[in-house]
């Protein structure tokens, strides 16, 4: 347990309903985000199905499944894909409940928001299921919105699952192997470390304020303080970026980012890819049949 995260409870939302200060709430949110990142590292170390595959094959899996999902039109095949991602999560030692919650509360939530207008008679006129007129919920609208939501959740689910089960260094190795330019790989390499570092700064800033506050403060005061701290964090991140670049120069950085990572595909990886392509082709075929 990281000492800085000691204040982050398992279910902080269930604490007694007392108004908590902005500083405490923000520190908890940032703390949970850091804890999530560290938990991802644990997922990536587990000995599951996805973790056992070559990182390039895992990236290819995302690509193949994302393309497949984008061509699916029927709700049963989209639902089947979502179920497949859950089975994959389970086989990769990721808690299915936690996986489903995180996918639906992020991608699912925004998909519902974005697709809501499509469910109305204004965008999709047709048989009215609820209400009347432009704001009514129509049968074709529900179909369109459901398709969009399921498609987003299926696509985002597989993307998130692969990222959770892949160490950052493996992801960078896969990108290098796939000939992604050095500058992009270098930027990504620094990103995660610096994001965590800045998040810890933000968390400590809020905890420091919390420790010195006698009251929770008014909304206006909190707003003013947050804006000031945002400026500080932005300025600190620029300074840190300069220092990192100095550190890179000091170790001879010349614009190239060679690594020791070498990847080898095994028979198991080839089998997986073949099975994946065959499975996706089958689902696409079934989708066409159902659509007819």
Partner 1 sequence: MSELSGNRQDAGQSTTAQPQTPEPSTATTVPGAVPVPAFRLAEVHQSYRPGVESLADVTLQIASGEHVAIVGANGSGKSTLLKILDGLVFPSAGTVEVFGKALTEESVEEPAFRAEFRSRVGFVFQDADVQLFCSNVLDELAFGPLQLGLAEDAVRERVDEVARGLRLEKLLDRAPYTLSGGEKQRVAIGAVLAMRPDVLLMDEPTSALDPRSQVWLLEVISDMKRHGRTVIIATHDLGSAAEFADRMVVLSEEHRICADGTPDEVLDQRDLLLEVNLIHEHAHRHAGRAHQHPHAHGHSHQSE
137 near partner 1, judged by CB under 8 A: no
Q: Which of 63, 139, 246, 285 binds partner 1 (CB under 8 A)?
A: 246
Alpha helices in the chain (DSSP H): 22-45, 55-71, 75-91, 96-103, 109-115, 139-164, 168-177, 182-212, 219-250, 267-291
6 near partner 1, judged by CB under 8 A: no
Q: Cα–Cα distance between 178 and 233 in angstroms, integer?
A: 34
# binding residues, partner 1 (CB under 8 A): 31
Per-position DSSP letters for 110-143, written without gaps between them: HHHHHHGGGGBTTTS-SSEEESSGGGSEEHHHHH
38 near partner 1, judged by CB under 8 A: yes
Closer residue to partner 1 (CB): 182 or 221: 182
Contact present, 252 and 209 (Cβ < 8 Å):
no
Per-position DSSP letters for 169-211, written without gaps between them: HHHHHHHHHTT--HHHHHHHHHHHHHHHHHHHHHHHHHHHHHH
Q: Cα–Cα distance between 163 and 55 in angstroms, integer?
A: 10
Closer residue to partner 1 (CB): 101 or 261: 261
59 near partner 1, judged by CB under 8 A: no
Q: How far is the CB of 194 from partner 1 (least distance, A)?
A: 8
Q: Cα–Cα distance between 172 and 58 in angstroms, integer?
A: 12
Q: Cα–Cα distance between 117 and 111 in angstroms, integer?
A: 11
Q: Cα–Cα distance between 82 and 77 in angstroms, integer?
A: 9
Closer residue to partner 1 (CB): 220 or 260: 260
238 near partner 1, judged by CB under 8 A: no
Residues 152-211 contacting partner 1, CB under 8 A: 167-169, 172, 189-190, 192-194, 196-197
221 near partner 1, judged by CB under 8 A: no
256 near partner 1, judged by CB under 8 A: yes
240 near partner 1, judged by CB under 8 A: yes
The residue range among 16-24, 119-127, 142-150, 255-263 that interacts with partner 1, by the rule CB under 8 A, is 255-263
Q: Where on the chain is the footprint of partner 1 (CB under 8 A)?
A: 37-38, 41, 167-169, 172, 189-190, 192-194, 196-197, 240, 243-244, 246-254, 256, 258-261
């Amino acid at each position: 347990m990281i000492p800085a995260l000691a204040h982050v409870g398992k279910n902080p939302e269930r604490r007694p309903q007392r108004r908590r200060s902005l500083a405490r709430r923000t520190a908890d949110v940032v703390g949970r985000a850091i804890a999530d990142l560290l938990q991802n590292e644990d997922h990536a170390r587990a000995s599951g199905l996805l973790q056992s595959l070559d990182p390039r094959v895992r990236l290819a899996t995302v690509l193949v499944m994302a393309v497949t999902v984008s061509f699916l039109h029927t709700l049963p095949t989209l639902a089947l894909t979502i179920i497949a991602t859950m089975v994959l999560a389970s086989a990769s030692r990721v808690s299915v409940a936690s996986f489903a919650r995180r996918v639906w509360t992020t991608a699912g939530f925004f998909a519902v928001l974005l697709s809501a207008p499509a469910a109305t008679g204004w965008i999709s006129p047709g048989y009215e299921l609820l209400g009347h007129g432009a704001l009514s919920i129509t049968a074709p609208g529900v179909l369109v919105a459901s398709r969009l939501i399921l498609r987003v959740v299926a696509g985002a689910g597989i993307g998130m699952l692969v990222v959770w089960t892949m160490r950052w260094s493996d992801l960078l190795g896969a990108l290098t192997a796939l000939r992604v330019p050095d500058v992009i790989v270098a930027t990504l390499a620094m990103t995660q470390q610096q994001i965590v570092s800045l998040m810890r700064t933000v968390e400590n800033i809020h905890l420091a304020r919390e420790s010195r506050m006698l009251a929770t403060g008014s909304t206006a005061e909190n707003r003013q303080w947050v804006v000031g701290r945002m400026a500080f964090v932005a300025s600190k991140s620029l300074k840190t970026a300069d220092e990192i670049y100095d550190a890179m120069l000091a170790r001879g950085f010349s614009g190239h980012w060679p690594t020791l990572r070498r990847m080898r595909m095994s028979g198991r990886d080839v089998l997986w890819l073949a099975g994946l392509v065959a499975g996706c082709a089958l689902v696409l075929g079934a989708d066409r049949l159902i659509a007819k």
